[in-house]
Structure 1
């Protein structure tokens, strides 16, 4: 079952197109990675999906309905942002109580476990928490909500490496026990690459990748060797990046290249490297005026 479907979605702010013809489908009970540089359109898309903004054009469906001012959709959706704001006089327990009233699948016992895991005092004023503790509150609400569609927009950036790993571990364990649709928007791609099952990469408000993560892991390769030999080999594939290393040439190729060729070295390309090289390649095409529409 598809939880999210967008077709040709645009969002304009005057002359600026924050989203430009975005068509994506997010399957249910899947962990999706929504990736891209700052300003790529990730937060804009998530705000539209969660009814906090309205598209300029195109169609949006969440659970088969438009999310804007739709109580049925919003009751099944949890959106946790990096800079989450709470009422000034709220204590941690007040934020959790508000979440309990908002989300039908809220798990009070799980929230208490997570408070202990992240060492967040329930009686503390939210305004007095450290950045890391405040990020942890958002993570706790997102996990304990058990919302059928849960979106995390970089809320864990304030967490240190140990706390982020705790978040990943608890997310994966709870997702296994209570499957739902999760969207992770993050720049820490290497950290979450083993969690992500499906990848959507945005750049300049457009979709560059919309694919199963496992298929992407075999899609690209870095090839190094004598320049002439690499040039001949690379001619059959799409090139994302090239660099000179002494007298050798190194190119990053996509299109599931054959990894058996005498005299050439082949290295796998990580998901983060693929995202970076694909984004750089797209930027170069745009700058050269060669981007396909």
Structure 2
């Protein structure tokens, strides 16, 4: 059985060519939760997930997963799975071979589950990812994330290519497998109206800074007006508008 991993980020700053993508971020991700990472384009979501997954070292500050520094520690990184809309999968390798490779890399990989899910979503095992439609390619990434059974699973807009029916199927499967195999899931999404009811916690980024974090309902309540609960889209509009210079 997997043991969910928490994330502790302290004073994290990251720059690209002198421009700050992340600025002095201090935030925690509770183990065993589905946490949403939300923000407008360019807010720093992908950079933050890449640092958590140790795809690049932290320049300033620290990133710890399960109480350990994540950079160059295979005992930690083998327990993390980051899947993005593009990247991380060999485009010219048949999907069946990709699944076997995942099994060699991930100690908790469930290939039987992956094959069953791909069949349910209509993704052919004999093709390569470059031969798939965008929706099928997105589905493959989502399946790899779920079947990894990683204690920390990071999903960076992985389902954007799916149609509405496929996304609904994915959300339902995500919840079912999360209940059956508890882990920590971080879900980065622009489709806030679709995912907000899945999220126990939320982290809101704006221009590289954390502008809100906590339990999702509490964050939504904090930004509600009148008698109705604010949506996460309302929250994001409120916070990003507030920080726009006049």
Normalised by the length of structure 2, the TM-score is 0.94
The 1-side partners of 2:20 and 2:221 are apart by 33
Q: Is the 8 A contact 1:2 1:25 kept in 2?
A: no
Deviations along 1:77-109, whole A, 9 cap, x unmatched? 000001125334301111111111111111122
More deviation in 124-133 or 144-153? 124-133
Give structure 2 stretches of 5+ with no counterpart. Answer: none
The aligned residue for residue 18 of structure 2 is 15
Matched residue of 1:267: which SS? coil
Aligned match of 2:90 in 80, 87, 91? 87
Q: How does 1:12-161 map to 2 (within 5 A)?
A: 12-161=15-164
The aligned residue for residue 233 of structure 2 is 272
Q: Is the 8 A contact 1:93 1:122 kept in 2?
A: yes
Q: Which entry has the higher C-alpha Rg, 1 or 2?
A: 1
Give structure 1 stretches of 5+ with no counterpart. Answer: 224-265, 289-293
Aligned match of 1:208 in 208, 211, 221? 211
The aligned residue for residue 221 of structure 2 is 218
The aligned residue for residue 232 of structure 1 is none
Residues 69, 201 of structure 1: alpha-carbon distance in 2 compared, 3 angstrom cutoff: same
Q: How many residues align?
A: 243
The 1-side partners of 2:113 and 2:90 are apart by 23
Q: Is the 8 A contact 2:49 2:154 kept in 1?
A: yes
Q: Is the 8 A contact 1:81 1:153 kept in 2?
A: yes
Query: Taking CA–CA contacts closer than 8 Å with sequence separation of 6 or more, which of the two structures ends up with the larger relative contact order?
Result: 2
Matched residue of 2:68: which SS? coil
Matched residue of 1:86: which SS? coil
Residues 128, 213 of structure 1: alpha-carbon distance in 2 compared, 3 angstrom cutoff: same
The 2-side partners of 1:23 and 1:128 are apart by 41
Give the Å deviation of 1:218: 2.3
Deviations along 1:118-137, whole A, 9 cap, x unmatched? 10011112211111111111
CA RMSD after TM alignment: 1.4
The 2-side partners of 1:87 and 1:267 are apart by 46
2:243 aligned with 1:282, yes or no?
Answer: yes
Aligned match of 1:198 in 181, 198, 201? 201
Q: Is the 8 A contact 1:126 1:134 kept in 2?
A: yes
Q: Is the 8 A contact 1:139 1:156 kept in 2?
A: yes
Residues 137, 220 of structure 1: alpha-carbon distance in 2 compared, 3 angstrom cutoff: same
